[in-house]
Amino acid sequence: MDNRLILVVGPGRSGTSLGTGMLEALGARVPEPRVAADDSNPRGFYEPRWVVEFHTSLLRAVGVHVGDAQPSAWSRAAEIGRDDEPRRRLEKWLRREFRRADHVAVKDPRLLWFLPLWERAASPVAGTRYLTMLRHPAEVVTSQQRHYVRWDDNNRVAGWLNTMLFTERATRGSTRALVPYDDLLEDPPAVLQAVCARLDLALVERARLPNMQAVDRLVDPALRRSRATWESMEVDRRLVEMAEEAWDLLTKLAAAGAEPPAALSADLDHLRRSYVDLYGFAESLTQSTRWTAQRSTNLATRLANRWAPDQPPLTLRSALGKGLRWMRRRISSADRARGPAGQQR
Amino acid sequence: VIRRRDLSNLEGLHQFDVRWHDGDPAHGMLTAVVRVKNEATSMPWVLPGLLRATDSVVVADNGSDDGTPDIAQEVAEAMGGRDRLRVVRYPFEVSRCGPEHLATPPTSVHSLTYFYNWSFSHVRTSYCLKWDGDMVLTEDGERSLDHLRWQLEGVQAIIHIPRYPVYVESPDVAYVDTQVVNREPWGWPNEAEYRHGKGFEWEVPIWPETVRSVRLPEWTCFELKWLDADEFQHWSTTDFGTNLRTRRKAREWEVFHALQQSQLPAGVRRVESPGALHVIDRLREADADTAIGR
């Protein structure tokens, strides 16, 4: 099969837009229409609107956030990914895209939650390849905090660990390339040649002068200026140590080529389990907070029923539903104020 | 006003930083930048036409050991063009085209990309012209370039020049490959947004997305290949692969070796100049019909 589906997977602000932009400059198709560019990404996000909406609806259905730090989020996302209905929709969309090109690149920070679904949907149409950009977690988190809705620094770092470590596991054994963001900025032709060789893409082979010029134009010297350190954030020491270890292992993995040593995979597995344990510990520590939140919800339900006796009795389920609808309305109005849909992360 | 970003190098050699000088019409319209390494044999045919058709010529010598810079100066002196020639020396080993180039960071002084940017930063005129040390202007080409000096006033354009390989066997015999014509961009404004970037096998010129093209006539120049020399020493491999970019190089390799073995490949024309006139001069004088059959 000559068709190639290149899934650019990684958390937002890790350089996935640059990576996808370069694939497009070399001749890959990035489906249209796309999420519009904004100040946080003036050259564009390279995210097809259809894909963003598709993923957003799936994530909503399972209650997973794009940068979710919960290890259990993976099994919830996987469950919906096993359904035939989304698989059929995705396959139909992919077939339409591959009628226009034989190399299609898809990027969306939500994509990493549904890799098995994409692989199943693509299998009759194209060979799937994975491209992951590696950018230091302190830089990713600093950039996320600047451009996205602000979460706690600790949660952002935990989200980076959760998404990177599980994405590594999900793509292990597949045809993949891990690309350090800085390397791509410093020397795009050398990196793109290596990526195309690794992923068996015909893009470099076919590239002409306008393609190479387009690649060069994507390198904005300003992109190199964002140098963040842990000192600029308030992150727990254990998380910093874990993030540094993950960064070190992933960097080694990127350099190791197509067949990394088994010991490296074992170290990544060990680190992933350590993260799951740490998250479990944090959950156990906050059990009282969850109990209070649960109790508040129950209290609100009882009060609502007392104040509106003529309405049907409010159950916990319907109270949550009302709350969710209220939150969606808030988010929608915030989105409208901010610009195109799908930008809030 | 957008200015080109000056470039420093990985090695921290500040005397070789690239400091741009945007074009100033007071210095003239056109400067040819000729990067050379051991091109002494070709200089007497390359330089005179360039010195006549442009406002100035910069010869950037990259460690020649055959006296290329001295020969260049002698040639310019002999034709009264010494004041329009500037010879600058770039003392670093520069990566050869192909895999060696790909493996070299573009900001290193050893990179072809950096060498090009450094060489072009010496230009002061409104336009710059990239020129190889083995490219010979035809008489028709000289006239076309000379006219460009007034035709380009107030115009932003990329100059495309067709170039044919000419394989020189002796002062009397040469071969023109009419099958592969290279219509590369050879000239552009000396302004912000015009520079060189790194390509997969060699450097690539970078310019704004919307800029018009000017194409010079078909028989404007030809590229000398001396059949008794190593014409591929600036390549780090002779496996040119199958991609569209190196197809021309693969053809040159094929033709060069066929001619060395006295075979005449399809599409190659034999040109003879039995009298006192050197075959290169005969080709310079020839029109397109005679030289390439069109």
Q: Taking CB atoms and an 8 Å limit, are B107 and A212 in contact across chains?
A: no
Q: Give the per-residue pLDDT at A339.
A: 47
Number of neighbouring beta carbons within 10 Å of residue A185:
17
Q: What is the pTM of this model?
A: 0.85
| pLDDT on residue A304 | 73
The string of DSSP codes covering A90-149 is HHHHHHHHHTT-SEEEEE-TTGGGGHHHHHHHHTTT-EEEEEEEE--HHHHHHHHHHHS-
The whole-number pLDDT of residue A39 equals 84
Place of tokens 């944090």: A282
Give the residue with greater pLDDT, B28 vs A258: B28
Nearest-CA distance from A216 to chain B in Å?
Answer: 6
- Strands (E) located in B51-143: 56-61, 85-89, 127-132, 135-137
- pLDDT at position A300 is 78
- CA B198 to chain A, closest CA, distance in angstroms equals 7
pLDDT band at B57 (very low <50, low <70, confident <90, very high): very high
Does A216 contact B at CB distance below 8 Å? Answer: yes
Tell me the percentage of chain A whose pLDDT exceeds 90.
74
For residue B39, pLDDT over 80 is answered with yes
pLDDT at B11 over 70: yes
State mean pLDDT over B66-75.
Answer: 97
Closest approach of A221 to chain B, Cα-based (Å): 9
Across chain A, what does the average pLDDT equal?
A: 90
**Angle formed by the axes of helices A115-122 and A73-81, to 10°?**
20
Residue of chain A whose alpha carbon sits nearest to that of B106: A187
Angle between helices A237-256 and A137-147 (to 10 degrees): 110
Task: Read off the pLDDT band of A81 (50, 70, 90).
Answer: confident
What is the model's pLDDT at position A342? 42
* Axis-axis angle for helices A287-307, A262-285 (nearest 10): 50
Q: List pLDDT tens digits, range A154-169.
A: 999 999 999 999 999 9
Determine, for residues B243 and A209 on separate chains, whether the beta-carbon distance falls below 8 Å.
no
Lowest model confidence (mean pLDDT) among A59-63, B180-184, B249-253, B269-273 = B180-184
Contact between A157 and A235 (Cβ < 8 Å): yes
Cβ–Cβ below 8 Å for B245 and A216: no
How much of chain A exceeds pLDDT 70, in percent?
87
Contact (CB<8Å) A212/B197 = yes
Query: Is it the case that residue A15 has pLDDT exceeding 60?
Result: yes
Which residue of chain A has the CA closest to B99?
A190
A242 and B280 in contact (C-beta within 8 Å)?
no
Tell me, what's the pLDDT at B1? 46
Q: CA triplet B273, B277, B281: central angle to 5 degrees?
A: 90
Q: Across the A/B interface, how many CB contacts are shorter than 8 Å?
A: 52
Separation between Cα atoms, residue B134 and residue A59, nearest integer Å: 63
3-state secondary structure of B208: coil
Write out the two tokens for A326: 């209220």
Residue A316 has pLDDT above 70, yes or no: no
Strand partners, A224: none
Disruptive mutation site among A195, A209, A224 for chain B (greatest number of B CBs within 10 Å): A209
Confidence band of A290 (pLDDT split at 50, 70, 90): confident
- Is 90 exceeded by the pLDDT of residue B193? no
Q: What is the pLDDT of residue A302?
A: 77
Q: What is the pLDDT of residue A343?
A: 43
Q: What's the Cα-to-Cα distance from B195 to each of A28, A186, B156, rounded to whole Å?
A: 26, 16, 14
pLDDT digits (tens, 9 = 90+) for B219-262: 999 999 999 988 888 888 888 877 888 888 899 999 999 999 99
Q: What is the pLDDT of residue A259?
A: 86
Q: Is the pLDDT of residue B184 over 90?
A: no
Average pLDDT along chain B: 93
How far off is chain A from B140, nearest CA to CA, in Å?
28
Q: Which residue has the higher pLDDT, B139 or B3?
A: B139
